[in-house]
Structure 1
Amino acid sequence: MDRRVLFASLILLAGGATGVGVALFAFVGIDDAAVDSEIVWETEPVVGDDGSGAVVATMDGDPVVVQSTAADGERVVRATVVGGEVAWRTPLSAIAVGDAAGGDGGADDDGAGTDAADGDPVPISDFTSATLGGDSIVAFTTETGSLVVLDAADGSVRFSADFGGPGGLRPAVGDLDGDGEHEVAAASTDGSVLAVDAAGDRVFETALDAPIDRRPLIADFDANGDDDPRGVAVATVGEDEATVRLLDASGDTRWTATPAVTPLTWTAADTQDGPVLALGGTNGNLQTLELTDGSGRYEVGLQDLPVAVGDADPGRIYVGGAGSVWAVDLRDGEVVWKQQYGAETRVNAPGVANVTGTDNPGPIALNRGGEALVMNVQGEVIARGGADDAVVYAGPLFADVTGDGTDEVLIVTADGRVVALSD
C-alpha cells in the first residue's frame, strides 16, 4: 500500500443535531520521500509588526516584499527586493502631508516608531497587493481612519481617502460594477464602508448599524442573469450574533444573513453551482453562504478549535486548524482529505501556488512554528521545510526569487525576516 495515503475512513460527527454535516474523508500521511526544501534567500530581522500583514507586489516586473516597519520615530512601509536590498521606504508622515515621493529614505528600520500611549509602533492594517488602473499597488488603512494606496514601483502615494472612523482592517480590491476596472473598499471598525475608484474618487460611502469585525471582501464574479453576485461583503458583530451583509456597487444592502458560525477568517470563491462566501468559524466549523442571496449552502465540522480559511482552487477550498489541513469540496462540503502535521501547532491560512515546476498548482500550508508543507491536490506532501527558530502568524507568500520561472515559498516571521524556500 502506498505509504503516502493511509486510506482510513474517518467520520466527523460534529453537531449532528444542529445540522452540521457528516464528513467522510481519507487521512493523508507524510511520505518520507518528500523533498526537503532549502533556504535560498533570507533577510535580516526588522522591527515593526508581527509579519502577518506582508505581501508580494511587483516593481518593474520583479517581485518585492512589502512590510510594515518602524524607523526614525514612526511607522514606515518598506519594500525589499530579492537579495535583501531595500527598494523604497514610505513613512506615514509623507502620506499625511501628501508627499508623492517614495524612495529609499536612507534611514535604517530601527523600531523607533512608537505610540506615545503604550510604547508600541503606531499600527496600520495588513496590506493588500493588487493592480489598479493597470499598475501594481499596495493598499492599507491607518488607525486614524484613512485608506492609503501606494504605487508599488516606488512607494509614492497614489491617493489617500478618509472614511470617517477608526481603521485597522485590511482593504479589498476588485471590480464592483463589472466594467473591467478595479475599485478599492475599506471599512472602519465602527461600521463605515467606503469604496473608491482607481483615481481615489468616491464610488460610495455608507454607515452600518454595528461594528465591523473582519476585513471586507470584494466579490467580483461574473454576473449570472438577474442574480448579479458582485458586491462588498462585510461582517458585523452584535451583542449576541454575527451578521454578514453584501453591499452592491452603490453601497445599498443586497442581503443580510446571520451565519451559524462566528467567522474568524473568510473568503469568496466560485463554484460550478455559483459563488459562495466561505467562513472559518471560531467553533471549528466551515460554513458557506450563497453569494446571490446569503442563504446557507452547508456547514461542516472540522474540529473543535478555530479554523482559518485559505485559498481555493477549482472546486476546493483549503482550511488550516490545530495541526491539520483540510481540502473541502466547495459544492457540497465533503472533506476530500485531511493532512496532519506539526502535532497541535496551529496551521495558518493555506495558499495555492505552483512551486514545484509542474503545471498543477497545489496547496501550501505554513504553521505557527514556521514549518511549510507543499502538497499536491491529493494532499500528498511533495516538499517540506521551514524557517529556523521562527514564529509565524501569516500564511505563505509566493514569488520567483531564483529567476527559474517557478515561484518559491516565502515565509515572513514574527521578527520581520523574509525566508525563501526552494526544492
Structure 2
Amino acid sequence: MDRRVLFASLILFAGGATGVGVALFAFVGLDEGAAETEVVWETDPVAGDDGSGAVIATLDGDSVIVQSTVADGERVVRATTTGAGVAWRTPLSAIDSAYSTGAGDDPPAISAFTSGTLGGDPVVAFTTERGALVVLDATDGTVRFALDAGTNGGIEPALGDLTGDGTNELAAAGADGTVLVVDGNGEALFETTLDEPIERRPLIVDADVLEDDTGGLAVATASDGAYTVRLLDERGETRWTTTPAVTPLSWSAVDTRDGPILALGGSTGNLETIEITDGSLRYEVGLQDLPVAVGDASPGQIHVGGAGSVWAVDLLDGEVAWKQQYGGQTRVNSPGVGDVTRDGTAAPVAVNRDGSVLVMSRTGEAVARGDVGAPVVYAGPLFADVTGDGRDEVIVVAEDGRIIAVTG
C-alpha cells in the first residue's frame, strides 16, 4: 500500500492513578507517499554546546540562530543569520571578566537561551553556572544588562508578562532555590528563596491568560526525589503548591479554551496536566513506559515525543488523537509546531536523536521525512524562513554545532 493507516483502541494504565484515563486513538503509519526533505542550508561545525540550548531570535522579520560556542578556550555567544553567516559574537569576558572563568581549564557553562522582547527590544537571555543573569541585544550582541542574580546552576530563564502591564519581565531560578524576577531595565521586581533546589526552567504564565490581570511564575523544586510545583505571583508570594504524580523531565505552559494548564512529561512515560488557576489535576495519561518530552501545542492538542513515537494529546481531556511511529526505538526530542507546509497551517515536526526529521499533518499523517546527516541531535526543531519563500524551514542544531535547514 502507498498509505498505511491503522486504527486501534488502546487502554492506557498508570497504576490506577486518579485522572489516568482510557484513550481511543488512531495509530498513523508512516506514509510511503511522503515527500523527502531537502537540506537547503548548512553551517560548519563549531565547538561548545550539544545544540539543545540554541534559540531563534526574530529581528524585524529576519531571524538569527543564537547558540553557545567555544573559541580559543573561551565561552562565546554566537548569532548566525539564517541562510547567511555569523551576525555577531559576544565572549563572556566582554561582558564581565568574572564570567569568563569556569571549573579548572574548561570555559564556564551557561544555560540554554531564551529569546523574546524586553522593553520592546529583541533580546536573548541566559544564566551562568556561577549565578549571573545576562541579557544581550539580539540585533548586535551588545549587553543590555548583566547582574549577579545569585541563581547558580545555569538554568534557562523565562520571559513573559508577569505584572499585566503589557511588557515582559525576566525570571531566573537557581539550583539552591533562589528565584529572581527583573524588569526590562534589570531592576528587581522580587527575589525569594524557596526551601528546595530548583532543577527545571521556570515558566511565566502571561497575565492575559489569567483572570486577575496578573500572571504567574511556575517553579518546580525537588527534594529527596519528590517534586513540588508552585505558582508564584508578581510579588513572589505562593498562589498554590501541588505535588505532581510524575517526575517532570520537561514541562510547558499552555492556554486552552477551558483555561491555562501546565503540561508535564514524566520519566515513566506519563503526561500530566495541572490547572494553573488552582494547581488541581486536569488529567494524567500513560503514553509508554519510557521517558517522554513535552513539545509545542497546536490548537486543541499538545505534542509529545518518546522512544520512537510522537503523540498528539487533546488538551482538554487527555484523549490521544493520534500516535505516529518512526525511527525504531530512537528517542524523539520535544516536537515543535511550525508553518513549514505550503497550505499556511501549523504542522507538527519531530526530530529524533539520529537526526531523522518527520513533518506531519494535523491528523498525524507524514507530509515529509528525511535525515539531516548529523550523528546526534539532542535539540527539538526550530523554525525560520531561510529561503525567503514566505514559509518556514525546519532548523536543526546538531551536537557538533552545525545548523542545518531542511524543507518540510
**Which of the five TM-score ranges fits, normalised by the shorter chain?**
over 0.9
Deviations 1:199-242 (A, max 9, x none): 1111111110000010000011525545x672110000011410
CA deviation vs aligned residue, 1:361-404 (integer Å, no higher than 9, x gap): 12101100111111111001111122114200010000000000
Q: Which of 130, 145, 151 is residue 144 of structure 1 equivalent to?
A: 130
Q: Encode CA deviations 1:321-372: one digit per residue, 9 max, x unaligned.
A: 0000000001111111100100000000000111012121121011001111
Whole-Å separation in 2 of the counterparts to 1:317 and 1:266: 11
Query: Partner residue of 1:166?
Result: 152
Alignment of 1:374 with 2:362, yes or no, is no
Show CA shifts across 1:69-128 (max 9, x none): 0113210000111344211100001111699xxxxxxxxxxxxx98452x5442100001
Which residue of structure 1 lines up, in the alignment, with residue 198 of structure 2? Answer: 212
| Aligned mates of 1:340, 1:121 — CA distance in 2 | 39
Distance (Å, rounded) in 1 between the aligned partners of 2:291 and 2:195: 27
**1:175 aligned onto 2:161:** yes
Determine the C-alpha separation between the residues in 1 that align with 2:103 and 2:198.
26
Asked whether the 8 Å contact 2:9–2:23 carries over to 1, the reply is no
CA contact (8 A) 1:73 1:114 kept: no
Cross-structure match for 2:12: 12
| AA in 1 matched with 2:203 | L
State the Cα distance separating 1:8 from its structure 2 match: 2.3
Show the counterpart of 2:77: 77
Whole-Å Cα distance in 2 between the matches of residues 209 and 311 of structure 1?
Answer: 31
Give the match for residue 278 of structure 2: 293
How far did 1:68 drift?
0.3
Distance in 2, Cα, partners of 1:296 & 1:229: 22
Partner-residue secondary structure (3-state), 1:415: coil
Bigger Cα displacement from structure 2, 197-206 vs 410-419: 197-206
Alignment CA distance shift 1:359-1:36 (3 Å): same
The answer to whether structure 1 residue 155 and structure 2 residue 141 are counterparts is yes
CA deviation vs aligned residue, 1:126-158 (integer Å, no higher than 9, x gap): 001111122111010011101111001000000
Work out whether residues 10 and 22 of structure 2, in 8 Å CA contact, stay in contact via their aligned partners in 1.
Answer: no
Structure 1 residues 93, 379: CA separation in 2 closer, same or farther (over 3 Å shift)?
Answer: same
2:392 is equivalent to residue 407 of structure 1: yes
**Aligned position for 2:32:** 32
Residues in 2 aligned to 1:223 and 1:130: alpha-carbon distance in whole angstroms: 18
1:344 aligns with 329
Q: Which of 243, 259, 262 is matched with 1:277 structurally?
A: 262
TM-score norm. by structure 1 comes to 0.92
Q: 1:172 to 1:224 in 2, by over 3 A?
A: closer
8 Å contact from structure 1 (residues 11, 25) kept in 2: no
Summarize the Cα distance change of 1:270–1:17 in structure 2 as closer, same or farther, 3 Å threshold. closer
Structure 1 residues 134 and 357, CA gap change in structure 2 (3 angstroms): farther
Return 365-374 or 5-14, whichever deviates more. Answer: 5-14
AA matched with 1:129 = S
Distance in 2 separating the partners of 1:353 and 1:165: 33
The 8 Å contact of residues 60 and 153 in structure 1, kept in 2 or not, is answered as: no
Matched residue, 1:189: 175
Q: For 1:97 and 1:415, locate their aligned partners in 2 and report how far apart those are by CA, in whole Å.
A: 27
More displaced 10-residue stretch of structure 1: 37-46 or 71-80: 71-80
1:52 is aligned to 52
Contact 1:300 1:333 in 2 (8 A): yes
CA distance in structure 2 between the aligned counterparts of 1:17 and 1:138, rounded to whole angstroms: 40
CA distance in 2, matches of 1:338, 1:122: 40
1:6: how far off? 1.3
* 1:63 corresponds to 2:63: yes
**In the aligned structure 2, how far is the partner of 1:407 from the partner of 1:224?**
31
After superposition, residues 319-358 of structure 1 pair within 5 angstroms as 319-358=304-343
Unaligned segments of structure 2, at least 5 residues: none
Gaps of 5+ in 1: 100-112
Q: Percent identity?
A: 68
Deviation at 1:160, TM superposition (A): 1.4
3-state SS of paired residue (1:273): coil
Alpha-carbon distance in 1 for matches of 2:234, 2:173: 15
Name 1:42's counterpart in structure 2. 42
Deviation string 1:302-332 (CA, Å, 9 cap, x unpaired) is: 0111100001112110000000000000111
Does structure 1 retain, via aligned residues, the 8 Å contact 2:151–2:179?
A: no
Corresponding residue pairs, total: 408
- Tell me if the contact between 1:15 and 1:301 (Cα under 8 Å) persists in the aligned partners: no
- Please, what TM-score do these two structures have when normalized by structure 2? 0.96
CA, structure 1 residues 2+13, in 2 after alignment: closer, same or farther (shift >3 Å)?
A: farther
AA partner of residue 25 (structure 2): F
Report deviation, 1:62.
Answer: 1.7
Q: Is this contact kept in 1: 2:157–2:170, CA < 8 A?
A: yes
3-state SS of paired residue (1:93)? helix
**One-letter code aligned to 1:135:** D
Give the aligned residue type for 2:15.
Answer: G
- The AA in structure 2 aligned to 1:199 is N
In 2: Cα distance, 1:31 partner to 1:221 partner: 42
Q: Is the 8 A contact 2:162 2:169 kept in 1?
A: yes
Q: 1:243 aligns to what?
A: 228
Which residue matches 2:86?
86
Q: Deviations over 1:160-214 (max 9, x none)?
A: 1222241311000000011110000000110000011111111111110000010
What is the SS of the residue equivalent to 1:94? helix
SS of alignment partner, residue 257 of structure 2: coil
- What SS class does the counterpart of residue 94 from structure 2 fall into? helix
Map 1:102-121; keep pairs closer than 5 Å: 115=102, 117=104, 119-121=105-107
8 A Cα contact 1:185 1:194, kept in partner: yes
